[in-house]
Amino acid sequence: MADNLLEVKNLKKYFNTPRGPLHAVDDITFTIERGHTLGVVGESGCGKSTLGRTIIGLLESTQGEIRFEGLDITHPDMKRKKELCKEMQMVFQDPFSSLNPRRCVAELIAEPLKIFKVYKFAKERDERVFELMDVVGLDRRFATSYPHELDGGRRQRIGIARALAMDPKFIVCDEPVSALDVSIQAQVLNLLQDLQDERGLTYIIITHDLSVVRHISDEIMVMYLGCMVEKCDAKELFVHTLHPYTKGLLSAIPIPTVKEKKPPVLLEGELTSPINPKPVCRFANRCKYCTEQCLQSAPALEEVLPGHFVACHHVREINGL
C-alpha cells in the first residue's frame, strides 16, 4: 500500500448565501502520497483555493473527511489545530498582502518559532532565522528590511521561509507564483522543487496556470465548479487529455512558436451558477458533446485508463476508447 500522507474523502464545503448554498467544493476525493505533489488547476471561482483552505483548516468543511497521516483532522479541537500547524503549512498567493507590513523580515520568519516557543534564547532563534533565510535564498542583509522594500520574489521567499520554520511535512501552495513576474516564477518554482527533494515535502499546488503544474506536479487534478472533472498523472494529462473541459484548458496555453498552429478548442458560454446547482453535468452548457444524458444526471468519476479518472458521460466516445 502506498504511503498516503493526506487522504480527502467526499469533501464538501458549502457557503451559505442569501440565494442558497454555494457549492464551492463538492464531493472531492483524493489522496496524496508522501513526497509527491498534487497540482490543482481550474479557472477562477472553481473552488480550488477553498479546497486548499479547507484542508489546511482555515475553513470548516461542510461534510466529508480529511485524514493526515491516517488520523482524522476534519474537525480538530484547538490544541490539535495548533499541533497541526507544525505539520501543515501554507504559502499564500499574494506576497504583498500576506506579510504584516509592520514587521521586518527576521521578525516575520521568527513568528512561528515564537508562537511555539521553540527556542529559549533569542540568539538561537536568530540563528535559525538566518539558516532559514539561507535555505530559501534570501540574503542575510535583508533581515532588518521591511516587506515593502523588497520585490515580489523576495517576499514570496519570506513566505516560504515562514512556512518552513517548523519543518512541516505538507505545504499547500495557493497560487504561489501567480503574482510574480515570469522570470521570478521559475526561481520560486525551482526553490519549491529543491526543498521538496531535500526535505521530502508533500505539496498541493493550487494554480490556474497549467504550465506551472506541468513543471512541478506528479499528479494533476482539474476542477470545474467545485467538482473534480479529471485526475491523472501529470505527464498523462498532457498526452491523453480526455475531458472536454481539460482540452479547452490545455489549448489555452500559449505555444511559443510561430510555425506550429493548432486549432484552439474554444469554450463558449458562461459558468453555471455554483449556488444550489442541479444534479447534472455542470459543464454541460459549455460542452459541444452535450446530450440529453448530460442534462439529466451528473457523471461519476470513473477510471477510464489506469490511474486516469474522468467525470464525463461520453468520455469514451469522444476520445475513441
Q: What is the contact surface with other proteins in residues (CB under 8 A)? A: 53, 56-58, 81-82, 85-86, 89-90, 92-94, 97-102, 111-112, 115-116, 141, 144-146, 149, 159, 162
| Closer CB to other proteins, 117 or 262, in the complex | 117
CB of 19 to other proteins, least distance (A): 21
CB of 97 to other proteins, least distance (A): 4
CB of 36 to other proteins, least distance (A): 21
Q: In a 3-state reduction of DSSP, which class is residue 58?
A: coil
| 290 Cβ contact list (under 8 Å, min separation 6) | 281, 284
CB of 123 to other proteins, least distance (A): 17
Task: Report the DSSP pairing between strands 202-207 and 63-68.
Answer: unpaired
How far is Cα of residue 7 from the mean position of the Cα atoms in its chain? 15
Tally: H helices and E strands in the chain? 11, 12
CB of 269 to other proteins, least distance (A): 32
β-pair partners for 275:
22
| Closer CB to other proteins, 45 or 307, in the complex | 45
CB 22 within 8 A of CB 62: no
| Closer CB to other proteins, 19 or 79, in the complex | 79
CB 124 within 8 A of CB 130: no
Separation of alpha carbons 280 and 298, rounded Å = 4
Cβ atoms within 10 Å, residue 221: 25
| 281 Cβ contact list (under 8 Å, min separation 6) | 287, 290, 294, 295, 297, 298, 299, 311, 312, 313
| Closer CB to other proteins, 94 or 126, in the complex | 94
- Our CA angle for 164, 39, 216, nearest 5°, is 70
C-alpha grid cell, residue 222: 482539474
| Closer CB to other proteins, 98 or 241, in the complex | 98
| Closer CB to other proteins, 145 or 178, in the complex | 145
| Closer CB to other proteins, 110 or 222, in the complex | 110
CB of 201 to other proteins, least distance (A): 15
CB of 176 to other proteins, least distance (A): 13
